[in-house]
Amino acid sequence: MDGYDERHPDDRLASNHPLLLMHEGTPVGTARLDVTGPRLGVVRLVAIEANLQRRGLGRLLMQEVESYARRVGLEQLEVNAAKEAEGFYQSLGWVAVRSDRENPLMTKSLSPGEIQ
């Protein structure tokens, strides 16, 4: 993605979790889960390698993010979606709560995970 600053301090905050989706030892996607409240997380910097999009990897990435979020005790996720990615989140069960914004605010409630 354009504009990513790898030295940005937010990537190193203890409450923010930078995640990689790996395939055979190679990173193919990324997301960062920021824990912003006792039960709330915000998903940022979601991306699949450009030449691997539209093959189901984004769905897989978000399933893994959700399961990770449940494991750290979150019940609700939010994303400030890129306009062109709104349909992607919709197909994964996210709901737009502020579609009037430049980056529509979308949310997803997490079903309870197994206790581990």
32: β partners: 18, 44
Which value, to the nearest 10 degrees, does the dihedral of the CA atoms of residues 75, 81, 84, 90 take? 20
**Using the rule CB under 6 A, is 98 a contact of ligand COA?**
no
Q: Which is nearer to ligand COA, 40 or 85 (CB)?
A: 85
Tokens of 100: 């009037």
**Using the rule CB under 6 A, is 105 a contact of ligand COA?**
no
Distances (CA, A) of 100 to 90, 96, 103, 104: 16, 9, 8, 6
Candidate residues 33, 42, 46, 65; the one interacting with ligand COA per rule CB under 6 A = 46
- Contact yes or no for 38/71 (Cβ under 8 A): no
Q: Which is nearer to ligand COA, 37 or 87 (CB)?
A: 87
DSSP sequence for 9-48: GGGG-TTEEEEEEEETTEEEEEEEEEE-SSSEEEEEEEEE
**Using the rule CB under 6 A, is 39 a contact of ligand COA?**
no
Candidate residues 59, 71, 98, 101; the one interacting with ligand COA per rule CB under 6 A = 59
**Using the rule CB under 6 A, is 33 a contact of ligand COA?**
no
Q: Which is nearer to ligand COA, 41 or 58 (CB)?
A: 58
**Using the rule CB under 6 A, is 37 a contact of ligand COA?**
no
- Residues forming contacts to ligand COA in the complex (CB under 6 A) are 1, 46-48, 53-59, 79, 81-82, 84-85, 87-88, 91
